[in-house]
C-alpha cells in the first residue's frame, strides 16, 4: 500500500478507485513564481514540467483519459507577452517531451477553439495528434483555447445547421445529440476534476461534461502538485458516494 509522504511511487491501486476519465485545472503557476520572486514565465515553465510528471503518474495508475486545462478562451485577457510565452512554451513542450510521452504510450489530443490559435501552435497540434494516434495506454487531452461555453456554442451551431437543412426537427434535439456534437464526443465525461491552488470555481472548464463530476480542491500550487496528492485525491474519490440523483447503493438495497 502506498504510504502518503513516502516518496516511493508504488502505483499500487489496491483499494484505490482510479477514475477512468480525469480532469485537471493546472492553476497557480503565477503564484508559485511570485513566492520565489521569479517572473510568471518561470511558473509556467515549472507547470509544464509538472504536466509531464502528471502524465506519467496517471498513465501508471491506469487513468485512460486525462484532460488538462492549459489555456482558456478567457486567458487572452492577459498581457500580450505572457500569452506569447505560453504559446511558445506549448510548442516547446510537445517538441521536447514527445519521446517521453511515447515511451509511456500516451496519445495526445487537443480540445478547444483550435482554428483561432496561431499557425505554429496549430502545426504542433496536428503533428502531435498524428504521430501519437496509435498509442494505447492513455489519452492526454490538452484543453487549449478552450471554453466550456464556446464548446456548447459550437455544438449548438452544428445542430442548428442540421435543423436549417431540414435533416433534424427541433423536437428531435436531445441531450445525447448535444453530447455528440461537442469537440471530442468519444471522450467520457470526467469522473473527477482536480483543481490545485485553492480556487473554488470551474473557470469555464468542461461545463457540459462536469454535470456529475466529483471535485477535489487543493491549496497546493500546480507546479508542486505531485504523486502524493494525486494518490490522496484518488483515495478520496474512492470513498465518495456517487448517487447521480438516485439513492446510494446501501439505501437502495434496504
Ligand atoms: C495557470 O496558472 C496557467 C494558465 C492559466 C495559463 P496562472 O497563471 O493562472 O497562475 P495564478 O493563478 O496567477 O497563480
Ligand atoms: C483556469 O485558470 C485556466 C487554466 C488553468 C488554463 P485561470 O487562472 O485562468 O482561472 P481564474 O481566472 O482564476 O478563474
Ligand atoms: Mg490562475
> Which residue numbers in the chain have pLDDT < 70?
1-7, 253-254
Supply the angle between the helices 227-239 and 40-61 in degrees, to the nearest 10. 50
Pocket test for ligand 1, best of 24, 25, 26, 29 (most atoms within 8 A of CB): 29
What percentage of the chain exceeds 90 in pLDDT? 92
The pLDDT assigned to 7 comes to 61
For 132: left if phi > 0, alpha if psi spans -120 to 50, otherwise beta; the answer is alpha
Amino acid 254: pLDDT: 65
Q: What are 132-161's pLDDT values in tens digits?
A: 999 999 999 999 999 999 999 999 999 999
- Entry pTM: 0.96
Known active-site residue 57: no
Q: Is beta strand 65-72 parallel, antiparallel or unpaired with respect to 106-111?
A: unpaired
Ligand nearest to the CA of residue 223, numbered in listed order: 1
Q: The cell 500516451 sits on which residue?
A: 106
Amino acid at each position: 500500500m502506498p504510504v502518503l509522504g513516502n516518496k516511493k511511487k508504488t502505483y499500487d491501486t489496491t483499494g484505490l478507485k482510479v477514475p477512468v476519465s480525469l480532469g485537471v485545472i493546472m492553476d497557480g503557476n503565477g503564484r508559485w513564481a511570485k513566492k520565489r520572486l521569479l517572473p510568471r514565465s518561470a511558473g509556467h515553465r515549472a507547470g509544464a514540467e509538472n504536466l509531464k510528471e502528471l502524465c506519467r503518474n496517471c498513465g501508471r495508475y491506469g487513468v485512460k483519459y486525462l484532460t488538462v486545462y492549459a489555456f482558456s478562451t478567457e486567458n487572452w485577457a492577459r498581457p500580450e507577452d505572457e500569452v506569447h510565452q505560453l504559446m511558445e512554451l506549448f510548442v516547446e513542450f510537445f517538441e521536447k517531451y514527445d519521446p517521453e510521452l511515447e515511451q509511456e504510450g500516451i496519445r495526445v489530443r487537443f480540445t478547444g477553439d483550435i482554428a483561432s490559435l496561431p499557425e505554429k501552435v496549430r502545426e504542433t497540434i496536428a503533428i502531435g495528434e498524428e504521430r501519437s494516434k496509435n498509442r494505447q495506454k492513455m489519452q492526454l487531452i490538452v484543453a487549449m483555447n478552450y471554453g466550456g461555453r464556446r464548446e456548447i456554442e459550437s455544438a449548438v451551431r452544428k445542430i442548428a445547421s442540421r435543423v436549417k437543412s431540414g435533416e433534424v426537427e427541433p423536437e428531435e434535439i436531445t441531450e445525447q445529440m448535444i453530447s455528440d456534437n461537442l469537440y471530442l464526443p468519444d471522450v467520457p465525461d470526467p469522473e473527477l476534476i482536480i483543481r490545485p491552488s485553492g480556487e473554488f470555481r470551474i473557470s469555464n472548464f468542461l461545463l457540459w461534461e462536469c454535470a456529475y463530476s466529483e471535485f477535489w480542491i487543493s491549496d497546493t500550487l500546480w507546479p508542486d502538485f505531485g504523486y502524493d496528492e494525486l494518490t490522496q485525491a484518488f483515495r478520496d474519490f474512492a470513498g465518495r458516494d456517487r448517487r447521480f440523483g438516485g439513492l446510494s447503493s446501501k439505501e437502495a438495497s434496504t
